Amino acid sequence: MSDKTILRALKGEVLPTPPIWMMRQAGRYLPEYRATRAQAGDFLSLCYNSDLAAEVTLQPIRRFGFDAAILFADILLLPQALGAELWFETGEGPRLSTITDPEGLRALKGRDDIHDHLAPIYETVRILSRELPRETTLIGFAGAPWTVATYMIAGRGTKDQGPAHLLKDTDRATFSALIDLLTEASIEYLSKQVEAGAEVIKIFDSWAGSLKGADFEDFAVKPAARIISELKARHPGLPVIAFPREAGPGYVGFAKKTGADCVALDNSVSAQWAAANVQKDGCVQGNLDPRHMVTGGEALIEATREVVRAFRNGPHIFNLGHGITPDADPDNVALMIETVRGA
């Protein structure tokens, strides 16, 4: 068995101190990240510059000594590789050309035509596989099909994913075909990351919580199960973390339904509830409220200890319930890590 703590937790081992990493740990709250991004020129240029993307991935490892590094990229690089136009509006986030009908869907590339475009991402993984400390686990990732589809259909992020729900409800054939394409393309993309050196894969379904009833099963559970099944067939022993954010009761049984080795939890559910209802099926990841990275103090220390205590009887990877925000204080990150390792 590997001596890397995250890999041990993902195999179901209960460790005296949980391993720790942080979603968006490479990002704007760090001055060194801001300097490197300025050097790259813009966000997409940073993503596609393998040397600089590897550098920002390594920065939080050097500063904080996290137990894992996650590839620096973006979930919308995959739709761009499929032929969607992608750009970022300063202060407003991503914009894409929209896919709302069969004609737009037919204009996209196939799953096997993405790799030339994504070659710089695979090179970033290869660099990190060489450069990371021996004890640090390398995590690759992609967005889940539903979440990526919501951006492709609306052309931007939306509060309620309304355009995607509308297409799902009015033209289910086109919507389902888009989900199928994204599922197959995600398999190819993630498999190439593993071939390049990723040791763990994480699937981010950031908008899973807006899917209800049968739609949650059809468009959150089933695509994740398909991706995980195929990845594990190609790469036996590969651990996969699934993050169906704000799934609420849908967290229960998600690991068994999808084959995920770990379920990442947002902070809308309590650690105590998740320990009783989700951790019983295996490893969980989470779920400190990210606002503590801004506010700090005794509240941060106590909330961190509470998460560690709640999950101490099962396999656990400590993380936030969502990504760290740009206004976070790096000193609070250091305090969180100190608390976890001393709790």
pLDDT for the residue 1: 46
Q: Quick: pLDDT tens for 299-318.
A: 999 999 999 999 999 999 99
Residue partners of 242: CB distance under 8 A and separation at least 6: 202, 203, 205, 224, 228, 254, 255, 258, 260, 262, 263, 264
Largest CA distance in the chain: 57
Residue partners of 299: CB distance under 8 A and separation at least 6: 292
Q: Give me the helices (H) in the chain, please.
A: 5-10, 31-40, 43-48, 50-64, 77-81, 102-106, 115-131, 145-154, 162-170, 172-196, 214-216, 222-234, 254-258, 271-277, 292-295, 297-310, 330-342
Active site residue 24: yes
DSSP for 316-337, please give it: EEEEESSPPPTT--HHHHHHHH
Q: Which of 8, 24, 111, 226 is catalytic?
A: 24
Active site residue 130: no
pLDDT for the residue 2: 75
Q: Which of 151, 189, 266, 281 is catalytic?
A: 151
Average pLDDT, the chain: 97
Averaged pLDDT, 309-330 = 98
Active site residue 37: yes
Handedness of CA 98, 217, 13, 276 (dihedral sign): positive
Q: Which of 74, 113, 171, 215 is catalytic?
A: 74
Q: Quick: pLDDT tens for 4-14.
A: 999 999 999 99
Q: Which of 34, 37, 126, 291 is catalytic?
A: 37
**Full strand arrangement of the beta sheet holding 240-244:** 68-70, 137-143, 200-205, 240-244, 262-264, 283-288, 316-320
Domain boundaries, the chain: 1-25+284-343, 71-264
Active site residue 134: no
8 A C-beta contact, residue 117 and residue 56: no
Residue partners of 112: CB distance under 8 A and separation at least 6: 188
What the block records as the tokens of 211 is 């899917």
Averaged pLDDT, 266-283 = 98
pLDDT for the residue 343: 61
Averaged pLDDT, 256-264 = 98
User: Which residue matches tokens 């475009």?
Assistant: 117
Which CATH architecture is the domain 71-264 placed in?
Alpha-Beta Barrel (3.20)
pLDDT for the residue 91: 80
Q: Quick: pLDDT tens for 92-129.
A: 889 999 999 999 999 999 989 999 999 999 999 999 99
Active site residue 281: no
8 A C-beta contact, residue 317 and residue 20: yes
Averaged pLDDT, 271-288 = 98
pLDDT for the residue 92: 83
Q: Quick: pLDDT tens for 204-244.
A: 999 999 999 999 999 999 999 999 999 999 999 999 999 99
pLDDT for the residue 48: 98
